[in-house]
Amino acid sequence: MCADPTNKLPEALALAVKAAESSIVDARRWAELLTDAGHDSDNLLVTQWGQRLQSDLREASLSAYLSRLINEARLEVADLVLAFEERGIARRGTDNYEEGLADFNRAIELDPNRVWSIAGRGETYRLMDRYDEALADLNRAIELDPSYDWAIARRGLIYQELKRYDEALADFTCAIELDPSADWAIACRGLIYQELMRYDEALADFTCAIELDPGADWAISSRGETYRRMGRYDEALADFTRAIELDPSYDWAIACRGLIYQELMRYDEALADFTRAIELDSSFDWAIGSRGETYRLMGRYDEALADFTSAIELDPSYDWAIARRGLIYQKLMRYDEALADLSRAIEQDPSYDWAIARRGLIYQELKRYDEALADLNRSIELDSSYGWVIGSRGETYRLMGRYDEALAEFNRAIELDPNDSVAIGSRGQTYQQFKRYDEALADLNRAIELDPSADWAIASRSQTYRRMGRYEEALADLNRAAEIGSPPERPAQ
């Protein structure tokens, strides 16, 4: 360069594009080298090119640097294709997807079979949720180069988003076979196994990915989430805590750890984590809703309502938060608002069986039994293993005086869960109506054994004792129910 700077400049500028392909660090080094070469050879043109490229790299992006090379360097076609391609990647990295697409389109116009440009455009379409176009480009790239593991894995991500899990697994497995060190592809396959509840396979993949990259905080936290779903809370807490140590600003991991604390009824720690996650991202609606649920479980209903409302304002389609807010309104006996929220959640997701059942329980509480049965029937159609809903339908039949149907439902609920204290106690109440007092006592005793605080069951046993003429035992149960301190009602699930 120093011997013949003017004639060597086009070659040096082409190499500047290749430096950008390597990294922004290499691009900075190359711009410095150009500047130094210009000074050493006393060549003003080379010096100016180096200085301008250095100036373009003051921002943490290659866009301006590559724009200068594209517009002013008179690059050969192959180098120009690479420059458009790299600028497209840079613009995509700053979420300027339309500009990125334009660059990939220009690169493909210049070289229609350029695999990396086609795949790069496909990835940009994927990030824009334009999945059909993304698949078309990635399929084309893979046809041109069947060993292109990056494109195969990116196609797997699209199949995952589309819930086409078999195809996603096939792509990730193929990509991993082509590159066994591709830790991110291994972890992505683990996420699919997690979604499919194939937890042992998910754990194996996450652990493999972590061994390949011990600092992969997202793989560590994903393994923690798998442990959480398996009920292995100590291991889950350890993984989330490790991920947070690696990145103290990792709001998702912090919120997930909060969820474990919530499930362990360590509510103060749960609140601390949810609050920290929200401080890091004030628009994190899931963390806000989860904090609201923690407040609800603590009986702090005003704070719970505030959080659920904030989450819903951030995402008006957040059906889980809408339904949970309805649950609080029910608890506060604000039934119109409760019904409105649950109906809204169901409108957004007509298959939301939990919300349908909860609305049925409100109708039951309001003695609107036909509407209650309609909702409970619908919920059971959606999930026939929903034991508490079957028991709730039995309770509706009992309240309507349809005791044979009630008994059949309670039997079915107990078959699904032999420790369902509510269904067992309610069956005891039904036996009482048939004057089958020994069976009633057996069920009520079992319900109270499972839940010693079940004042409604204790009060029902008192009635059974009274009808059997065992007045001292009846009085003792009445006193015990009164000591517990709430009205003797059958609780909702």
pLDDT in tens, 331-343: 999 999 999 999 9
Question: What does the alpha-carbon distance between residue 223 and residue 228 come to, in Å, rounded to a whole number?
Answer: 9
Which residues are within 8 A (CB) of 331 and not within 5 positions of it... i.e. 6 or more apart? 301
Question: What does the alpha-carbon distance between residue 175 and residue 178 come to, in Å, rounded to a whole number?
Answer: 5
Helices of type H across 315-454: 319-331, 335-348, 353-365, 369-382, 387-399, 403-416, 421-433, 437-450
Question: What does the alpha-carbon distance between residue 381 and residue 396 come to, in Å, rounded to a whole number?
Answer: 17
Token pair in block for residue 365: 């509480």
**Amino acid of residue 279:** E
The one-character DSSP state at 62 is: S
End-to-end Cα, the chain, rounded Å: 79
Residue 42 C-beta-side C-alpha neighbours within 13 Å: 0
Sorting pLDDT into bands at 50, 70 and 90, what band is 49?
very high
pLDDT > 70? residue 211: yes
pLDDT > 70? residue 150: yes
Percent of the chain scoring above 70 in pLDDT: 97
Token pair in block for residue 436: 């089958």
**265 three-class SS:** coil
- The per-residue pLDDT for range 220-273, each reduced to its tens digit, is 999 999 999 999 999 999 999 999 999 999 999 999 999 999 999 999 999 999
- Which pTM does this prediction carry? 0.84
The one-character DSSP state at 216 is: -
Q: Are 430 and 398 in contact (CB under 8 A)?
A: yes
What is the reported pLDDT for 487? 44
Q: Rounded mean pLDDT of 71-96?
A: 95
What is the reported pLDDT for 1? 56
C-alpha distances in angstroms, 167 versus 148, 222, 228? 17, 21, 27
What is the reported pLDDT for 485? 66
Token pair in block for residue 35: 């500047």
Token pair in block for residue 32: 């410095």
Average pLDDT of the chain to the nearest whole number: 94
Question: What does the alpha-carbon distance between residue 380 and residue 356 come to, in Å, rounded to a whole number?
Answer: 10
What is the reported pLDDT for 3? 56
The one-character DSSP state at 490 is: P
Token pair in block for residue 357: 């059942």
Question: What does the alpha-carbon distance between residue 260 and residue 460 come to, in Å, rounded to a whole number?
Answer: 36
Of 22, 119, 34, 76, nearest to 127 by C-alpha is 119
Token pair in block for residue 346: 């169901």
Q: Rounded mean pLDDT of 281-303?
A: 97
Q: Where are the domains of the chain?
A: 1-111
Handedness of CA 177, 183, 188, 191 (dihedral sign): positive
Q: Are 126 and 136 in contact (CB under 8 A)?
A: no
Question: What does the alpha-carbon distance between residue 329 and residue 301 come to, in Å, rounded to a whole number?
Answer: 9
Question: What does the alpha-carbon distance between residue 427 and residue 406 come to, in Å, rounded to a whole number?
Answer: 8
Residue with tokens 């360069």: 1
Question: What does the alpha-carbon distance between residue 194 and residue 430 come to, in Å, rounded to a whole number?
Answer: 42
Give the largest Cα separation in the chain, rounded.
116
What is the reported pLDDT for 490? 44
Question: What does the alpha-carbon distance between residue 73 and residue 330 come to, in Å, rounded to a whole number?
Answer: 70
pLDDT > 90? residue 136: yes
pLDDT > 90? residue 43: no
Question: What does the alpha-carbon distance between residue 69 and residue 72 come to, in Å, rounded to a whole number?
Answer: 5
Q: Quote the Cα angle for 432-418-458, to 5°.
A: 40
Q: Are 44 and 102 in contact (CB under 8 A)?
A: no
pLDDT > 80? residue 489: no
Residues 4-28 as b or e (16 or more Cβ within 10 Å = b): ebeebbeebbbbbbebbbeebeebb
Q: Give the CA-trace dihedral at 276, 279, 284, 289, to 10 degrees.
A: 60
Which residues are within 8 A (CB) of 134 and not within 5 positions of it... i.e. 6 or more apart? 122, 123, 124, 125, 126, 158
